[in-house]
């Protein structure tokens, strides 16, 4: 059948009705009814896509289906294979038409399945009929049918099967139409092949398959575009542009071409008024524009682009609504609501504005999800769940009310979890998409945990977040690995950011559970993050990762590894300083801070190992490094105080109590100085993390000062004890105990835990020394109990073991004292048992000398007992044996005292041994045997405090947006009137984007703006940046061209006003820059006498020039003239002044008769000034000749010998012009 005029003009409804009229009016028995109904179905099909409302579309689509059914019926009356094929082909098309107006996705899929089955039957008959043309066209129908079914599939395997079969049908059609040279049908086949290969490239599991499919997609789209140029058919052209837009958009970087193709698609679709094609084209315009935005630097243009996306999206939704295509509408909503969220983030300057945009994004997103659910498209549902979850999450960030914020986050998380479930089923091979979904879910869960007050619930939420991160991050890693040699830097940077977030979630869980395995896992995650940041050349982020690793090792008490990783962070910041040279100072400061913490961790390790002098050296180095820092110098005194404390501990452990006391006194002094410095800094700091640390350190200063006083009392007690002044020593131990007890009452945390055992230890020593003074077994018993209490409060195993050793030693003293009274053998055994236990505990605690000392005492005690028994023995043989045993015990005792390095005690025992050998007498009392001064005079048992409050804070600034900026001025001389470039360099060192709102105080007084960058406006003394967004680690240079009209010294301290993502205003003040503006004086200039005017004129009026100064009559004009004349006289110039008024220069004329010549043109000249040699009087300006004669006369009368500048001020120009006009003049 031919093509009617209506068809040529794309008047499809009129064409369909015309064909229907033909059928009704025809009486010809051979009238081609089947072909006519087929044509009617074709016309109604295209007419439906021109419908102006959805009801009209459904009605016309239904009429198309009915027409195709009629055609199938009439074709089916014939039994030949070709007719049978035509019948099934029409039935297939009828079912396909019905699929567009199905009430739900199940019904739609049922129609598509029937369409597919009819199409397959048609292929069999066309094959029998050897009808290649119809065979190829049916392949196209089946390919289109399968493409629609892809979106209704809920599993990946089914989607892949549909795609592969669709590609097969398209390939068959391409082969047929190429052979037949049926290029119009070939374009459709190529277009469908492009769609299927595009989809396969996005869901393919293997990179090789994805690459092959993308290459085919590009090749087919290029070929279809080329072929479409042969036809003047807008439908063919629109589909070819569809194919080319899709391929170029996804598989090239040529976004401009994609946008151009989409525009041409829309133009062709508009020619035929096809709502569906117009809707798809509008969607492509929105999607492509969205991808182009990140590379757009101009804020004004970027804002317009977001508005374009919204406009394109609205047009797409409107057009696609006409044809009821919910699946395609759902895809539009992927970018539609996000544009409102982006406007909120990047352009709204207040929280209220941002909230309004965020609410709109959510409302629009909900509408998109309705369309997606209605369509049954797993692609559409997933896309909208993703978009809507992001919109709700951002909305929750803006919501100030806690309950509402929590509810919004729960909604965001619910949508995200549903998204993950769909992706796991329908797109499981796309590991990146799956990983993103899981990570985003974890981020929402982490935010929820922060808001949750119930610890049990918080723990469960964090557990879910950790689980999602643990699954999501490896999925992203596997996807990146599968991409091989492709450029994956953006993905790697994103992955590193995810790992960084995972680490923080693990640390939050540690904070809740105190389970250290969280920190161990966080360390592993941060190591991966550091490596990935290194791969994409982000050295500052590498440094931050190592910083976090070091902090976690510090928490775990592994100071050696902490120091090592602070060293790596130091190296990372050094690299960042070299990479970002304009902000090298900032990163160098951080590198020094990391180096300081490397020293601090070495100091902690040395302190832990009891090497206090080595700890002192490291604390001194850290103090020096911090003192040189701009950001952290307020901590320098704190760590210097620690170095002195370590020095005091070193002297104490060496039993140098006098120097220890001096050092503790000095440490107390520096602790007070540090406290004052911290209090001053507290007024300047606004960062929460730093503020909290400083407040803690200020509070800790008092506790540490008290600790120092306690230690001074303790050292004094030791001195008195060594001097044998047990009562005085006991009193000092009691004083120390009271100080440490007050610390436990007034303070909490680590310092309370460290002070608690000191209380019991001091009380125990107090009792011991008192017991020694009074030989009281009861007091020894009380001391032993107090040592056991100290054991229970010990902060480490060594202290615990030492306290137990002391306790047993006291028990030995108690029982030994009782033995001296009773001489009871059982008490002797008990004493020996306690001494033996004490020796073992000393050895386990690492105090070998104490252990040997105790053993030596034990043998000395044995010798004492043996000698006592020998004295009362009646049997001479028994007596000799006991003397021999005593001598042996004394020999062993002396050897043990040697090992314990107690020379004085060794010599004492050797003398005792000699006396026993010579006189058979042990000249020692039992109290001397058990002398405890060695134990009590040592501080080895005392727990020394540690810097538990000190933390390597500062990472907080990087977690959000943080601006660093500096002002760069020209290095050379700045002169008045010159154009000067002020360069403002800005860097966002944080992890979140920030909106630059304005730059204030950048225009110094006495300067004017000559030129500002595009996109900046200047009003009310501030520069508005018109919505310039700085992304993480992005820098911006703003060059302002200014001109000064004033000389002098200036200071400029610009303020950068920013707005973060949740609408909070952030103000960053740049360090002040001072500079000098010099007067600009060019050669050959005559100063006017007015400094500001001379500056503007580069030193004054140019020599040998006539300069016209126009002004209404006013005082300022007269003052300028007077100043001009006075300056000339001051410089020794010869001056001609031609005027109509004497004004305020009368005295000047009279006093300067050889330099100032007055030419007064006024009828009243004689009464205005007396006659003088330098005064020339004329009746007015009527007679210019008179004026000329006077001037010549004056010139001739000038002293020829007088050299110098000559200046003239002619004030009669206006009067002359009025009187004589320009021609005469």
Q: How high is the pLDDT of residue 929?
A: 57
Residue where the block lists tokens 């030949």? 80
Taking only the tens place, the pLDDT of each residue in 1169-1187 is 999 999 999 999 988 889 9
Q: How high is the pLDDT of residue 962?
A: 87
Q: Cα–Cα distances in Å, from 1179 out to 125, 302, 1141, 1165, 1217?
A: 122, 71, 12, 7, 17
Question: Given 3-state DSSP classes, what are the helix, strand and coil percentages for the chain, each rounded to the nearest 5?
Answer: 70, 10, 20
- Contacts for 606 with CB less than 8 Å, ≥ 6 apart: 612, 614, 615, 618
Q: Is the pLDDT of residue 902 over 70?
A: no
Q: How high is the pLDDT of residue 409?
A: 97
Q: Which residue, 1074, 1077, 1027, is CA-closest to 1051?
A: 1074
Can you name the CATH fold of 960-1078? Answer: Immunoglobulin-like (2.60.40)
Between strands 1065-1069 and 1017-1019, the pairing is unpaired
Q: Which residue, 182, 98, 186, is CA-closest to 148?
A: 98
Between strands 1134-1139 and 1156-1161, the pairing is parallel
Taking only the tens place, the pLDDT of each residue in 73-115 is 999 999 999 999 999 999 999 999 999 999 999 999 999 999 9
pTM for the whole thing?
Answer: 0.82
Q: Is the pLDDT of residue 913 over 90?
A: no
Q: How high is the pLDDT of residue 9?
A: 92
Q: Cα–Cα distances in Å, from 1024 out to 304, 332, 562, 979, 1056?
A: 17, 34, 45, 21, 10
d(CA 1156, CA 595) in angstroms, rounded, equals 75
Q: Looking at mean pLDDT, say which of 207-221, 947-961, 1020-1034 comes out highest.
A: 207-221
Cβ atoms of residues 1046 and 1090 within 8 Å: no
Taking only the tens place, the pLDDT of each residue in 757-766 is 888 888 888 8
Least confident range from 333-337, 530-534, 931-935: namely 931-935
Q: Is the pLDDT of residue 279 over 80?
A: yes
Q: Which residue, 459, 448, 456, 389, is CA-closest to 422?
A: 389
Least confident range from 19-33, 301-315, 388-402: namely 19-33
Q: Is the pLDDT of residue 723 over 70?
A: yes
Q: Looking at mean pLDDT, say which of 176-185, 1195-1204, 1214-1223 comes out highest.
A: 176-185
Q: Which of the four pLDDT bands, split at 50, 70 and 90, describes residue 850?
A: confident
Residue 633 corresponds to which tokens in the numbers above? 């110098």
- Contacts for 161 with CB less than 8 Å, ≥ 6 apart: none
Taking only the tens place, the pLDDT of each residue in 971-1030 is 888 888 788 888 888 998 888 888 888 888 888 888 888 888 876 777 655 666 666 788
Q: How high is the pLDDT of residue 1225?
A: 43
d(CA 800, CA 760) in angstroms, rounded, equals 12
Q: Is the pLDDT of residue 629 over 60?
A: yes
Integer-rounded Cα radius of gyration of the chain: 48
Residue 271 corresponds to which tokens in the numbers above? 């020619």
Helix (H) or strand (E) holding 642: helix 636-653
Cβ atoms of residues 906 and 898 within 8 Å: yes
Lay out the sheet containing 1035-1044: strands in order across: 963-968, 979-988, 1035-1044, 1007-1011
Q: How high is the pLDDT of residue 943?
A: 66
In the DSSP assignment, the letter for residue 944 is P
The 3-class secondary structure across 337-386, one letter per residue, is HHHHHHHHHHCCCCHHHHHHHHHHHHHHHHHHHHHHHHHCCHHHHHHHHH
Cβ atoms of residues 246 and 254 within 8 Å: no
In the DSSP assignment, the letter for residue 582 is G
d(CA 467, CA 462) in angstroms, rounded, equals 8
HSE on the CB side for 1008, CA within 13 Å? 7
d(CA 621, CA 642) in angstroms, rounded, equals 11
The 3-class secondary structure across 373-430, one letter per residue, is HHHCCHHHHHHHHHHHHHHHHHHHHHCCCHHHHHHHHHHHHHHHHHHHHHHHHHCCCC
Q: Is the pLDDT of residue 272 over 70?
A: yes
Q: Is the pLDDT of residue 31 over 70?
A: no
Between strands 1055-1059 and 1085-1086, the pairing is unpaired
Q: How high is the pLDDT of residue 785?
A: 83
d(CA 446, CA 463) in angstroms, rounded, equals 10
The three-class DSSP label of residue 1158 is strand
Cβ atoms of residues 909 and 803 within 8 Å: no
Beta bridge partners, 996, equal 1028, 1058
Q: What is the mean pLDDT of residues 1188-1212?
A: 86
The three-class DSSP label of residue 621 is helix
Q: Could you tell me where the beta strands, DSSP code E, fall in 605-740?
A: none
Question: What DSSP letter does each residue of 751-782 carry, written as one string?
Answer: HHHHHHHHHHHHHHHHHHHHHHHHT-HHHHHH
Q: Where are the domains of the chain?
A: 537-626, 814-942, 960-1078, 1099-1224
Q: Residues 1000-1039, buried b or exposed e (16+ Cβ, 10 A)?
A: bebbbebbeeeebbebbeeeeebbbbbbbbbebbeebebe
Q: Which of the four pLDDT bands, split at 50, 70 and 90, describes residue 453?
A: very high
Share the mean pLDDT of the chain: 89
d(CA 1204, CA 1196) in angstroms, rounded, equals 16
Q: What is the mean pLDDT of residues 41-59?
A: 96
Cβ atoms of residues 607 and 650 within 8 Å: no
Taking only the tens place, the pLDDT of each residue in 294-345 is 888 788 888 999 999 999 999 999 999 999 999 999 999 999 999 999 999 8
Residue 133 corresponds to which tokens in the numbers above? 């043309």
The three-class DSSP label of residue 594 is helix
Q: Which of the four pLDDT bands, split at 50, 70 and 90, describes residue 1095?
A: confident
d(CA 915, CA 705) in angstroms, rounded, equals 51
Interior angle at CA 50, CA 45 and CA 55, nearest 5? 85
d(CA 592, CA 586) in angstroms, rounded, equals 10
Longest dimension (CA), the chain: 162
Q: Which residue, 106, 140, 136, 135, is CA-closest to 122?
A: 135
Q: Which of the four pLDDT bands, split at 50, 70 and 90, describes residue 931?
A: low
d(CA 828, CA 861) in angstroms, rounded, equals 9
Q: Is the pLDDT of residue 924 over 60?
A: no
Q: Is the pLDDT of residue 497 over 80?
A: yes
Q: Is the pLDDT of residue 794 over 90?
A: no
d(CA 1197, CA 564) in angstroms, rounded, equals 93
Q: Looking at mean pLDDT, say which of 278-282, 487-491, 743-747, 1220-1224 comes out highest.
A: 278-282
d(CA 736, CA 717) in angstroms, rounded, equals 9
């Amino acid at each position: 059948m031919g093509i009617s005029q209506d068809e040529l003009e794309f008047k499809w409804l009129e064409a369909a009705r015309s064909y229907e009229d033909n059928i009704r009016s025809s009486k010809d028995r051979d009238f081609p009814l089947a072909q006519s109904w087929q044509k009617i179905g074709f016309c109604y099909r295209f007419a439906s896509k021109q419908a102006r409302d959805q009801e009209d579309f459904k009605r016309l689509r239904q009429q198309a289906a009915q027409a195709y059914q009629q055609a199938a019926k009439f074709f089916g009356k014939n039994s030949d294979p070709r007719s049978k094929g035509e019948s099934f082909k029409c039935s297939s098309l009828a079912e396909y038409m019905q699929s567009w107006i199905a009430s739900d996705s199940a019904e739609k899929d049922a129609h598509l399945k029937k369409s597919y089955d009819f199409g397959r039957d048609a292929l069999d008959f066309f094959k029998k009929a050897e009808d290649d043309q119809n065979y190829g066209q049916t392949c196209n129908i089946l390919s289109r049918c399968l493409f629609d079914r892809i979106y209704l599939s809920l599993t990946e395997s089914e989607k892949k099967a549909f795609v592969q079969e669709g590609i097969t049908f398209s390939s068959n059609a391409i082969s047929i139409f190429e052979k037949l040279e049926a290029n119009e049908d070939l374009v459709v086949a190529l277009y469908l092949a492009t769609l299927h290969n595009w989809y396969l490239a996005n869901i393919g599991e293997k990179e090789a398959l994805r690459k092959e499919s993308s290459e085919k997609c590009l090749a087919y789209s290029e070929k279809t575009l080329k072929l479409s140029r042969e036809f003047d058919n807008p439908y063919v052209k629109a589909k070819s542009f569809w194919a080319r837009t899709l391929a170029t958009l996804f598989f090239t970087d040529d976004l401009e071409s994609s946008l151009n193709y989409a525009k041409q698609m829309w133009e062709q679709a508009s020619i035929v008024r096809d709502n569906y094609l117009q809707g798809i084209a509008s969607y492509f315009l929105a999607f492509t524009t969205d991808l182009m935005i990140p590379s757009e630097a101009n804020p004004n243009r970027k804002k317009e682009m977001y508005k374009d996306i919204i406009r394109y999206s609205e047009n797409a939704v409107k057009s696609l609504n006409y044809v009821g295509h919910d699946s395609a509408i759902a895809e539009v909503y992927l970018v539609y609501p996000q544009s409102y969220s982006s406007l909120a983030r990047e352009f709204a300057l207040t929280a209220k504005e941002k909230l309004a945009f965020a609410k709109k994004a959510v409302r629009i997103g909900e509408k998109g999800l309705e369309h997606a659910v209605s369509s049954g498209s797993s692609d559409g549902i997933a896309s909208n769940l993703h978009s809507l979850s992001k919109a709700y999450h951002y909305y929750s960030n803006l919501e100030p009310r806690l309950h509402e914020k929590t509810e919004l986050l729960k909604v965001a998380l619910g949508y995200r979890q549903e998204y993950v479930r769909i992706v796991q089923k329908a797109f499981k091979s796309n590991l990146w998409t799956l990983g993103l979904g899981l990570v985003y879910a974890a981020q929402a869960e982490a935010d929820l945990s922060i808001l949750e007050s119930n610890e049990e619930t918080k723990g469960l939420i964090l557990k879910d977040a950790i689980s999602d991160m643990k699954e999501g991050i490896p999925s992203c890693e596997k996807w990146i690995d599968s991409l091989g040699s492709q450029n994956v830097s953006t993905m790697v940077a994103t992955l590193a950011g995810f790992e960084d977030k995972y680490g923080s979630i693990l640390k939050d869980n540690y904070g809740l559970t105190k389970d250290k395995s969280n920190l161990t896992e966080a360390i592993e995650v941060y190591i991966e993050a550091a490596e990935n940041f290194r791969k994409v050349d982000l050295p500052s982020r590498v440094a931050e990762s190592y910083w976090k690793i070091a902090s976690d090792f510090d928490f775990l008490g592994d100071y050696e590894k902490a120091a090592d990783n602070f060293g790596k962070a130091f190296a990372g910041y050094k690299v960042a300083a070299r990479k970002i040279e304009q902000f090298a100072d900032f990163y160098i400061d951080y590198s020094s801070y990391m180096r300081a913490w490397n020293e601090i961790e070495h100091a902690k390790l040395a302190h832990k190992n009891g090497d206090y002098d080595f700890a002192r050296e490291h604390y001194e180095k850290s103090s020096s490094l911090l003192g040189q820092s701009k950001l952290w110098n307020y901590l320098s005194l704190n760590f210097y105080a620690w170095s002195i404390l370590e020095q005091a501990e070193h002297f104490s452990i060496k039993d140098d109590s006098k120097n220890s006391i001096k050092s503790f006194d000095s440490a107390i002094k520096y602790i007070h100085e540090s406290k004052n410095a911290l209090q001053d800094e507290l007024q300047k700091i606004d960062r929460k993390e730093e503020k909290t640390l400083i407040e803690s350190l200020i509070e800790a200063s008092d506790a540490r000062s008290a600790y120092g006083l306690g230690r001074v009392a303790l050292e004094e007690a030791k001195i008195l004890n060594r001097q044998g002044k047990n009562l005085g020593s006991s009193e000092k131990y009691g004083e120390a105990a009271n100080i440490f007890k007050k610390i436990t009452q007034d303070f909490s945390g680590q310092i309370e835990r460290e002070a608690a055992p000191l209380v019991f230890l001091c009380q125990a020593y107090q009792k011991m020394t008192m017991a020694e003074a009074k030989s009281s077994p009861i007091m020894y018993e009380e001391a032993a109990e107090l040592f056991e209490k100290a054991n229970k409060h010990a902060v480490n195993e060594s202290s615990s073991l030492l306290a137990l050793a002391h306790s047993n030693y006291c028990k030995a003293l108690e029982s030994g004292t009782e033995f001296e009274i009773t001489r009871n053998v059982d008490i002797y055994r008990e004493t020996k048992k306690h001494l033996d236990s004490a020796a073992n505990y000393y050895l386990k605690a690492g105090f070998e000398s104490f252990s040997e000392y105790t053993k030596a005492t034990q043998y000395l005690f044995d010798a004492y007992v043996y000698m006592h028994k020998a004295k009362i023995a009646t049997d001479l043989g028994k007596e000799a044996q006991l003397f021999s045993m005593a001598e042996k015990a004394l020999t062993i005792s002396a050897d043990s005292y040697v090992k314990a390095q107690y020379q004085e005690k060794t010599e004492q025992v050797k003398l005792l041994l000699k006396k026993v050998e010579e006189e058979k007498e042990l000249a020692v009392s039992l109290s001397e045997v058990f002398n405890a001064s060695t134990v009590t005079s040592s501080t080895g048992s005392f727990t020394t405090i540690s810097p538990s409050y000190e933390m390597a804070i500062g990472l907080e600034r990087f977690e959000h947006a943080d601006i660093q900026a500096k002002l760069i001025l020209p290095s050379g001389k700045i002169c008045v009137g010159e154009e000067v470039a002020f360069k403002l360099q800005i860097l966002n060192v944080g992890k979140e984007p920030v909106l630059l709102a304005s730059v204030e105080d950048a225009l110094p007084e006495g300067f004017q703006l000559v030129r500002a960058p595009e996109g900046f406006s200047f009003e009310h003394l501030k520069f508005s940046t018109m919505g310039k967004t700085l992304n993480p680690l992005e820098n911006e240079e703003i060059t302002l061209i200014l001109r000064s009209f004033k000389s002098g010294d200036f200071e400029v301290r610009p303020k950068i006003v920013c707005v973060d993502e949740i609408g909070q205003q952030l103000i960053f003040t740049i360090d002040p820059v001072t500079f000098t503006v010099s007067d600009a004086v060019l050669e050959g200039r005559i100063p006017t006498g007015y400094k500001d005017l001379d500056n503007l004129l580069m030193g004054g009026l140019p020599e040998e020039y006539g300069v016209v100064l126009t002004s209404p009559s006013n005082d300022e004009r007269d003052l300028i003239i007077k100043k001009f004349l006075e300056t000339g006289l001051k410089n020794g110039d010869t001056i001609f002044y031609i005027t109509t008024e004497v004004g305020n220069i009368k005295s000047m004329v009279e006093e300067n008769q050889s330099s100032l010549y007055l030419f007064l043109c006024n009828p009243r000249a004689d009464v205005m000034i007396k006659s003088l040699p330098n005064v020339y009087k004329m009746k007015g300006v009527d007679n210019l000749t008179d004026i000329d004669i006077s001037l010549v006369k004056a010139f001739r009368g000038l002293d020829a010998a007088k050299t110098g500048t000559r200046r003239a001020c002619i004030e009669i120009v206006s009067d002359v012009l009025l009187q004589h006009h320009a021609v005469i003049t």
